[in-house]
A = this chain, B = another copy of it.
Amino acid sequence: MTEPELARAKSVTLRDVARVAGVSVPTASKALNGREGVRAATRQAVLATAERLAFHPNTTARALKNGRSGTWGLITDDLEGRFSIPILMGAEDTAGAGKMSVFLCDARGDVIREKHHLQSLLGRQVDGLIIVGSRTDARASLGELPVPAIYVYAPSDAHTDLSIVPDNLGGGRLAAQHLLDLGRKRIAHIAGDRSYDAARARVTGVDEVLTAHNMELMGGQAFYGVWSEAWGRNATRRLVESSPDLDAVVCGSDQIARGVLDALKDLNLRVPEDVAVVSFDNWEVFATGAVPGLTSVDMNFEAMGRMAGEKLFAAMGGEEQQGTIIQPCRLVVRGSTCP
């Protein structure tokens, strides 16, 4: 067993490269990492052999030495990945391809499991944490941690943490302004679950714009319910009964909007000619599958992920930050408001 390369057909180590290139391990390391103190010819030789042997450095060893693992942990409650995946992709993008890898952990809404995942991630020496809540209400802070953490979508309840949340208020304004721009005057709002911060903020945004134009919502207020198509259908039927002259509906989510579209059709009201419909989330499969396509306010998950990545890098660089960053939304116009 004097031949190490026979013992493990596994992977090529730096030692192998150094031996083949006829230099020492430190020299090989310096050459590969572009550090000075290596003659150009030597560096070339090392690079060439590394290439030839298909050398890939063991990230684990590097992590152990310099205390940086090049990984982030993302903890979420999002069972379907609707939020998590775009946010993850956005975060990854800031690092440049493959520089950072992300552990995705699903706590499934269970605090115990979350604690467990957290410990596991810290044991793996992640360089940062992204905590993705499934609703925009403030969630319990994880407290003081040995690595920077950023709360995305749901803000932390501790103002010493850094949170990134979508601008639901601004989204509401966007939706209302869009309808006003189209000349709509009699606007109703079928909202989501009142217990959700997001639902209330969206309502507030709509209200603000209407008030500024000396208008108010049909029925005098928004109608809160649940985040489902069924609620959209029911609410629409009642709404049209009491206010048959309405000409636009803002919906708390795309799912609600789907219900609204269904009900309007049953009631022989044309969209967008008789009634324009705007909703929130811009969940592609729902928004584009509808007839007509739904004009919807996009929460910009990927942008939130990118921001999270940037802030994590900044924090890793020692630049501590706290507070709540509000990420603007954007309106995606489709057939439900413009023919």
A interface residue numbers (CB < 8 A to B): 10-11, 56-61, 63-64, 67, 69, 71, 78-82, 84-86, 88-89, 92, 97-98, 101-106, 108, 113, 116-117, 119-125, 146, 228-230, 233, 255, 258-259, 262, 284-286, 289-291
Task: Determine how many copies of this chain the complex contains.
Answer: 2
Q: A61-B64, A123-B57 are in contact. Are A230 and B289 (CB under 8 A)?
A: yes
**B80 A10 Cβ-Cβ under 8 A:** no
**B88 A85 Cβ-Cβ under 8 A:** no
Task: A60-B63, A101-B120 given; name 5 further pairs at CB < 8 Å.
Answer: A59-B125, A60-B124, A64-B64, A97-B116, A102-B103
Q: What's the Cα separation between A57 and B60 when bound, in Å?
A: 15
Q: How far is the CB of A233 from chain B (nearest CB, A)?
A: 7
Closest Cβ neighbor of A258 among chain B residues: B289
Residue in contact with A59 in the complex, picked from B86, B88, B124, B230, CB distance below 8 Å: B124
**Chain B residues with Cβ under 8 A from A78's Cβ?**
81, 85
**A233 B291 Cβ-Cβ under 8 A:** yes
**A106 B88 Cβ-Cβ under 8 A:** yes
Residue in contact with A113 in the complex, picked from B79, B97, B108, B117, CB distance below 8 Å: B97
Q: What's the Cα separation between A116 and B262 when bound, in Å?
A: 45
**Chain B residues with Cβ under 8 A from A122's Cβ?**
11, 56
**Chain B residues with Cβ under 8 A from A92's Cβ?**
105-106
Among A57, A123, A259, find the residue whose CB has the most chain B CB atoms closer than 10 A: A123
Q: Which 4 residue pairs are nearest across A and B when measured between Cβ atoms? A: A81-B81, A81-B85, A104-B104, A229-B289
26 A-B pairs, CB-CB below 8 angstroms? A10-B67, A10-B146, A11-B146, A56-B119, A56-B122, A56-B123, A58-B123, A59-B125, A60-B124, A71-B103, A78-B85, A79-B86, A80-B80, A81-B85, A84-B85, A85-B106, A89-B106, A97-B116, A98-B120, A101-B121, A103-B103, A103-B104, A230-B289, A255-B285, A258-B289, A259-B289
Q: What's the Cα separation between A67 and B60 when bound, in Å?
A: 10
**A80 B85 Cβ-Cβ under 8 A:** yes
Residue in contact with A116 in the complex, picked from B58, B98, B104, B290, CB distance below 8 Å: B98
Q: What's the Cα separation between A184 and B69 when bound, in Å?
A: 60
Q: How far is the CB of A182 from chain B (nearest CB, A)?
A: 25
Q: What's the Cα separation between A71 and B103 when bound, in Å?
A: 9
Closest Cβ neighbor of A62 among chain B residues: B123
Q: How far is the CB of A230 from chain B (nearest CB, A)?
A: 7
Q: What's the Cα separation between A229 and B85 when bound, in Å?
A: 24
**B60 A64 Cβ-Cβ under 8 A:** yes
**Chain B residues with Cβ under 8 A from A286's Cβ?**
285
Q: How far is the CB of A273 from chain B (nearest CB, A)?
A: 18
Q: What's the Cα separation between A71 and B121 when bound, in Å?
A: 11
**Chain B residues with Cβ under 8 A from A85's Cβ?**
78-81, 84-85, 104, 106
Q: What's the Cα separation between A230 and B69 when bound, in Å?
A: 47
Q: How far is the CB of A103 from chain B (nearest CB, A)?
A: 5
Closest Cβ neighbor of A105 among chain B residues: B101
Q: How far is the CB of A284 from chain B (nearest CB, A)?
A: 8
**A228 B104 Cβ-Cβ under 8 A:** no
Closest Cβ neighbor of A117 among chain B residues: B98
